[in-house]
Amino acid sequence: MGIFNRLFTIGKAEANSAIDKLQDPIKMTEQGIRDLKTDLDKSLQALAEVKSYAIRSKRDYKNYSGQASSYEQKAILLLKKVEEGGLDVAEGDRLATEALTKKEEATEQAKRAQEEVTRFDQNIVTLEANVKKLKSTISRYENELRTLKARARVSAATAKINKQVAGIDSNSTVSMLEKMKEKVDQQEALAEAYGDIASESKSVDDEIDKVLGDSDVKASASLAALKEKMKNS
């Protein structure tokens, strides 16, 4: 039981060295549970044995009590037979005395068996309480073990992530980002240059139409045609 009373306080900065120096708490807890289960098995075995003793003592008490009652009845019958003249007085007294002696012996045996029953019943109560306590303790530490394993997994994952983060070279990261930015700037400049080249390749007519607009050119042509038509009419 004392194995569970150890404290494990590990500082973050000294986690690795502390873990190396201390026993693994998960393994210690598992071993403690195995020890408790061994104690439980022994207690259950002892409980079964004591219960068997109690059963035997109760049987003995019943048998001896029956014998005592039987011998007493025999002594009574012998004395009655003497009174009826069916048995010599001296012989009847002798046999009745023997029967009563047997009765006393059986009574003592019954008394002893009853004392054993009382003692065994008390032992059973104590052992059953111990078994109940052990089962409760085992259940509690099994739950704590599951929690401890979960915490260990989270701690290991966190340590792995922190180690990975700590291993990143900040200078190389900044350099990589600057190169990516420069590459994007170059791509944008190249796209703009292609746009300028495309604009320069347009025809003069396209430029004129762009300046004057297609609607102005068509309107002037229509006006000239109308004037020519009026002159001829």
Each residue's pLDDT tens digit, 156-208: 888 788 777 666 555 666 676 777 777 777 777 776 766 666 565 555 556 65
Q: Are residues 102 and 66 in contact, defined by beta-carbon separation less than 8 angstroms?
A: no
149 and 48 in one domain? yes
One domain, residues 116 and 78: yes
State how far the Cα of 38 lies from the Cα of 220, in Å rounded to an integer. Answer: 112
CA dist 80 → 74, 77, 93, 175 (Å): 10, 5, 11, 124
Confidence of residue 209 (pLDDT cuts 50, 70, 90): low
Same domain, 41 and 146: yes
Helix pair 204-212, 214-232: axis angle to 10 deg: 80
Tell me how far apart the alpha carbons of residues 202 and 26 are, in angstroms, rounded to a whole number. 79
pLDDT in tens, 99-118: 999 999 999 999 999 999 99
Q: Please tell me whether residues 153 and 183 are part of one structural domain.
A: no
Based on the fold, state whether residues 115 and 133 are members of the same structural domain: yes
pLDDT tens-place string over residues 50-99: 999 999 999 999 999 999 999 999 999 999 999 998 889 999 999 999 99
> Do 200 and 124 share a structural domain?
no
Question: What number of CA atoms fall less than 13 Å from residue 164's CA on the CB side?
Answer: 5
Does residue 36 have a pLDDT over 90?
yes
Count of domains for the chain: 2
Domain that holds residue 40: 2-168
Residues 57 and 150 in one domain: yes
For tokens 């306080």, the residue is 9
Whole-number pLDDT of residue 153: 84
- Does 187 or 16 have the greater pLDDT score? 187
The predicted structure's pLDDT at residue 217: 57
**In terms of domains, do 188 and 135 share one?**
no
- Verify that 69 and 150 share a domain, yes or no: yes
The two three-digit tokens of residue 78, written as one number:
């012998």
pTM > 0.95: no
181 and 134 both lie in a single domain: no
pLDDT of residue 5: 47
The answer to whether 140 and 77 have CB atoms below 8 angstroms apart is: no
